[in-house]
Structure 1
Amino acid sequence: MNLAKHLNTFGQYLLHRHGERVHKLALNASFTCPNRDGSIGRGGCTFCNNASFNPQGRHPPTIAEQIAAGRAVLAKRTGAKKFLAYFQAYTNTYATLEVLKPLYDQALAEPDVIGLSIGTRPDCVPNAVLDLLASYRDQGYEVWLELGLQSSFDRTLRRVNRGHGFAAYADAVQRAHARQLPVCTHLIAGLPGEGASHSRVTLQRVLDLGVEGLKLHPLHVVKGTQLANEWRRNEYQPLTLDEYVELAVTLIRKTPPDVTFHRVTATASPDILLAPQWCGKKWLVLNKIAEQLGA
């Protein structure tokens, strides 16, 4: 089934805005995270494994090399000729402007890259960085700030060792919107100690603050994480496929149609995925969500 028939997908948004298909190119700029390097904590979030974001290790190819490789794959698969440089791995605003600007500029120097999507934490977006991103948008580039919130409940954020609270997210959104920067918020369903009602409340709090895009993720257990240890001790039970589909459909239906969905599921590579196994079947999940939305 065609998911775009039932919700406002990011791909459709880009198609309408730019008149042609535009795809994200995922990049790794070798950043780290304040929740890993000791600035606010070590070990990162309990569900985070380096390899799930950083399969190339700490020394990936250059930005230009990564764009060339991604371009070749996507152009062959989809025919796309325009791209967004998606700085995905780790915290992509966690550096000085002297470090960040050359990296962003390298991506935008590619003639077929029409903008940036910057994945980061809400406690790592100082005004100077937001000003830099706004300056690119003022030049006509498509620019998105992607904030990993996951939950609006501080108790949950503490439990998963997130290292920030909901107040940091609210502050970051307010400052981004003051600069006309669109925000895409990442939300995880099935976090430890949370049920469907928590996800519904988190969504409403995010919508009340204002948001332009959303990413929904089912929490999955991967090797090399604290969550994996909890799962092995039967202290954590992931959502079933039916539970996630039902919850995702509920959240989508509660979201205003002008909010774009950048993603409604997430996967992990088979070599690190422990549970649930359905998280390795992207199209099964998407088709079930589309089916329920069309019912």
Structure 2
Amino acid sequence: MIGRRAAGLPLGRDLSARFLPWLLAPMAALLALALVAVGTVDRAIDRWAAALGDSATIWLPAPEDVDHGPDPRLMPLIAQLEAEPLIREIRPVPRAEAQALVAPWVGAELAAGDLPLPTLVDLRLAPAQPGEMAALTERVAQTVDGARLEQPGDWVERLARIGRAVQAGAVGLGVLFALAAALAVVFAVKTALAIHRDTIDILHVMGAPDDYVARQFAMQGLRVGLIGGAAGSIVAALLVTGAGAALPDTTAPLLPRLDPGPIGWGGLVLVTPALAVAAALVARITVIRRLRAMP
């Protein structure tokens, strides 16, 4: 048997070992960014549900008298709404706030002028039983001619479905990046086995088992995976930090916000050790299977 202090294979001198970290680094960065995308969308879906899941808005057609005074239809409507057990909170939307909503579409000057705007009332709702929302909508329409009640739950659900589709796409891309990294490790290991075939044969003659050779390749894979994973994670973290600084800071629930959450930040931290362990396992399995197939 070969001694514990016997020289190992010079795997670090191979060109494949030198370039493999730089092949793994972009794959690690892309994998980390895919996890950031998954975490950001997950947090956005939670934010949409928390902000809008129990909300509704009543729209009253713009009054014919554009004097910007109090809408005379508002007080009877609020009196009706206060008697509704389904409604927890009532908030008439000030005209200035309505102007701010339409300003990005029609321009600040037109929005601040004599533009006829609907009267809006925001509501917070209690959990509704089947049919209660339809009955409430009908009573609102009967109280004020032309009034309509809109609940954003339906289109929030559609947004959530779009977000889940984006998450599935990001997970799929992450799987492809991981497979590409595994294939790169397999190719590098097979190349190193071919380069060191004579040395491995000598080690076998000296009594070295396949596990001894595979263990050296696994350690080399672990080292290369750590280097490539750390480089990729650093690049991904810098990109996320830069994007977070570039995006405007907003508290609006529907506007895009870079918020990776535990999934995204955890991905940035765990990509490096996960890639290193995976590279070591792939290298070991590849070597064992290749050596057993050799004559």
TM-score by structure 2 length?
0.23
Higher strand share: 1
Higher helix share: 2
Name the larger-Rg structure.
2
TM-score by structure 1 length?
0.23
Which protein has greater RCO, CA pairs closer than 8 Å, 6+ apart? 2
